[in-house]
Amino acid sequence: MYTLLEILRHLRFEYALTSDTLDVASGIVSRRERNVPVRRVQTLDISQGPLARLVGVAAIDLETAGGGETEVSLKYVADAEARRLQNEIQRLKQESDSNTGKLSADSAGIQTTESGAQSIDASEGGTSGGSEGVLFDLPLRDLLLVSAVRLNLRPLLPITLGVIAGTELLSGTLAAVIGRNPGLAVLVVVVGTVVAGPVATFARYYDFQLTDAGDELRYERGLLQRYSGSIPLGKIQTLLIHENVLERRFGYAGLDTITAGYAAQEVTQGTPSAIPLTDRESVFRFARSIEGFDFEDLTFTRPPKRARRRYAGRYVLFILFLTGALIALETLAGAGTTIAGIEMVMPELSVLDYWYAPLFLVPLVPVIAHLKWRNRGYAIGDDHVLTRNGFWNRGIEIVPYYRIQTVIHRRSIFQRRLGLATVVVDSAGSGPLSLLGGSARAIDIDAEEATELRETIHQRFGASLTARRQPSKAQMDTL
C-alpha cells in the first residue's frame, strides 16, 4: 500500500522553472499549487543516500527567505537534473539581483558593475565571482585528524539503545553477566561511542570540497550519504570559528556560517561548515576574505574575576545533586514497592556502592571555573562585535554591526547578586537558536559595563547602516 501511494504521489507531482518562479503542483486527491519566486530562494540543497546514488537520483530541498522550514522538496529527480536546477536557479537569482541593483543605482545616479555578486579576494585564498573554483578541500590527513580530535556524540544514543535491547536478546548467561555488572554495559557504550564517533565524522566530511559559485559558496561532502549545499554570501549573518581543546593544542580550527533563513537545517544538522578543520591562521584569513567580515585583530575583554565564584558554585551544586541522586538510588536498591498490585523490585547495582565518587571532583572545581572564565570575553571593533565562549569547545562569533537585529541586556537573579549581566547580540540567522545559546553573547560581564556595551553596539549599528546607505568615494568618482 505504501509503495502504491508513493508511486501515485510521484506521478501527480509536477514542477516547472520559469524565468522568475519555480511552479510546483502536488497532491493525489487534493491538489496544491505553489509559485516560489526565484529571487526569494535562499538555499537549494541536494542529498543522495547510498541507494539514490546507485540509481542516479537525488533529493532537492529548497528554502526561501524568511522561512524556517523547507519550502519545496523534490523527491526524486535525476542527478543531472538536480545539478541543472541548482545552476539555473542561481543564474536567475544573479540576473534578478543584478537588475535590482542597476535599478537602484540608476535612481541614485550611481554606476555599478555588471554583476552584483560578492566575491572572495583571490589574494586571500579565494577566487572572484563568476565561474566555479575550488576554495578549499579536505585532504586525507586533515580528514583523519578532524575524525580523531572532534568529539562526536551522535552514536551515543543508538549504541545505548542497542546495548539495552541486545541484553534482552542475548543468551541467559551473557545477559546475567551484564545485569550483575552494569559497569560492563557502560564500558561497551563508551568504547562503542569512542570508536563509532570518529567513523561517523569521517563519513560525514569525506571528500569535502568548498567552491566559489559567484554570489554563493557551494560545498559537497559525504561518504555514504552525499550532500551538496549552498551558502549565499549576501545572506551570511554571523561567522563562527570553533576550536575544541585538542584542536587549540595543535593550532587547528574550523569555520561555520550562520545565514538568514537557514534555521531549520541549523537545528537538525548544525550550521553549514565552510571549513571543517585546517590551521587556525588559514581559518582567520579565509573568514576575513568574506565580504563584510574583514575584522581587526582585537583583544578580548574577560568578565570580572568574581564571575568565577558563580561558576564554582554552579559546579559544586551539580556535584552535590549527583551525589544525592546516587545516595537515593543506593537506598532504594533492593527495596520493593507495589504499583497497581504488582510488586516492583529495584535491582541492586554494584556501582552504587561508590556513591561518594563525584565528591572527588570538588577539588577540581576552582580549576574548571578558572578555565571557563579565562575563555570568555568580548571585543568591539570598528565594524564588528566579537564574542568568545567555551573551554572544551570554544567558539568565536563575529557579527557585523549592520547585520544585528536586536541587542538584549539581561540579568538573572544569580547575576544580580554579583553585579553581573549578559548582552545578547541577535542577527537574522539566530532564529530559534538564540534560545539554545546560538547568538553571540557577552556573558557575565560587569552590569554597568554591559549597559555601556549595549549602547555602544546600538550607536555603531546606526552608524554602520548610515555608512552603507551613502555612496562610497569610488562610486562618487564615477559620476
**What pLDDT does 476 receive?**
52
Instruction: Measure the CA–CA gap between 219 and 223, rounded to whole angstroms.
Output: 14
CA distances from 167 to 9, 164, 173 (A): 41, 5, 10
CB 242 within 8 Å of CB 226: no
| Integer angstrom CA distances of residue 219 from 213, 230, 255 | 10, 6, 13
Per the listing, cell 535491547 goes with: 165
Torsion angle of the four alpha carbons 36, 233, 141, 83, in this order, in degrees rounded to the nearest 10? 30
Pairwise CA distance, residues 46 & 194, whole Å: 30
What does the alpha-carbon distance between residue 396 and residue 375 come to, in Å, rounded to a whole number?
A: 10
Q: Which amino acid is at 269?
A: Q
Question: Do 77 and 60 touch, CB atoms closer than 8 A?
Answer: yes
pLDDT of residue 28: 77
Identify whether the C-beta of residue 233 lies closer than 8 Å to the C-beta of residue 290.
yes
Q: Report the helix count and the strand count for the chain, using DSSP H and E.
A: 15, 21
* Half-sphere exposure of residue 461: CA atoms within 13 angstroms, side-chain side: 16
pLDDT at 324: 93
Query: Residue 120 has what pLDDT?
Result: 37
* Whether the bond into 76 is cis, omega within 30 of 0: yes
What's the rounded Cα separation, in Å, for the pair 318 and 460?
40
| pLDDT of the residue at 362 | 95
> How far is 77 from 14, CA to CA, in rounded Å?
11
CA 379 to each of CA 133, 387, 442: distance values in angstroms, whole numbers, following the listed order: 34, 6, 9
**CB under 8 Å to 288, separation ≥6 — which residues?**
124, 294, 295
Distances (CA, A) of 148 to 158, 189, 274, 392: 20, 18, 19, 15
Residues of the chain with pLDDT below 70 are 65-69, 97-132, 164, 166-183, 261-271, 333-352, 429-438, 471-479
Question: What are 235-258's pLDDT values in tens digits?
Answer: 899 999 999 999 999 999 999 998
Three cell numbers, residue 70: 523547507
Question: So what's the pLDDT on residue 68?
Answer: 56
Nearest to 315 by CA among 391, 421, 394, 378: 391
Please count the residues of the chain: 479
Grid coordinates belonging to 371: 578555565
* pLDDT (0 to 100) of residue 198: 92
- Distance in angstroms (rounded) separating the CA atoms of residues 138 and 220: 11
Domains detected in the chain:
2-108 (2.30.29), 141-205 (no CATH), 307-370 (no CATH), 376-479 (2.30.29.30)
Find where cell 546606526 sits. Answer: 462
In whole angstroms, give the CA distance from residue 257 to residue 160.
32
Looking at residue 116, its pLDDT comes to 34
* pLDDT score at 350: 58
Q: Residue 301 carries which DSSP code?
A: B
Task: For residue 378, list its beta bridge partners.
Answer: 301, 387
